[in-house]
Amino acid sequence: MKLTVYNIKGEATGRTIELPEEVFGIEPHEHSVWLDVKRYLNAQRQGTHKSKERSEMSGSTRKLHKQKGTGGSRKGDINNPLYRGGGRVFGPRPRNYDIQVNAKVRRLARRSALSAKAQAGQIMVVEDFRMETPKTKEFLNILQALKVADQRSLTVLGQYDQKLYLSCRNIEKASIAPATDLNTYQIMHAGTLILAESSIEKIKETCA
């Protein structure tokens, strides 16, 4: 697949670039994408939820009344879960939500996500660019020139750039990532992928 290369002013440079078929031209494997997105979202969960159970409550352990002879039901201490203020039955406990997905499946998921974006026409290629100082307004001007400022976009760089990252982080619908850190969730979550020229070779190395 060939795509036109644009500059940061949104103008076509007159050049085209060939996207690797083995990364951007496969038949998307939806189940792999689902697995990898699930793995990523699970990893974002802290898993620190906790509620107190009966043995952890700070109430008296005195038996409320004798076992028999009262005509009422049997009762233990005031921490009984049936009473207001008592412990919770089978409440949440701290746990790890991580799931394991094979490396080959994760690579297939990234290729599938990239191929789906390519087939939907949601990929743009721009010349490599840098900023002298972090400027959110300048980065927003670039997105406006590329006509993607009103949609969720992901800019993929050949390598991490601190100044570009700082320029982008306050823009609600825009995000930025180096090609080596690209994951399936980021790709699927973005409406448009903006690929810097140098990122394409890096993506091929990490996904193929």
Domain edges within the chain: 2-45+99-207, 48-96
pLDDT for position 208: 75
Name the least confident of 127-131, 154-158, 177-181, 204-208: 204-208
Closest CA to 2 of 191, 15, 110: 15
With 0-12 CB in 10 A as exposed, 13-18 as middle and 19+ as buried, what is 98? exposed
Percent of the chain predicted with pLDDT > 70: 100
Note the pLDDT tens digit of each residue in 141-153: 999 999 999 999 9
Q: pLDDT class for 166, splitting at 50, 70, 90?
A: very high
pLDDT confidence bin for 1, thresholds 50/70/90? confident
For the domain spanning 2-45+99-207, the CATH number is 3.40.1370.10
If you average pLDDT over residues 82-91, what whole number do you get? 92
The residue with tokens 């499946």 is 105
Write out pLDDT tens, residues 29-77.
Answer: 999 999 999 999 999 999 999 999 999 999 899 999 999 999 988 899 9
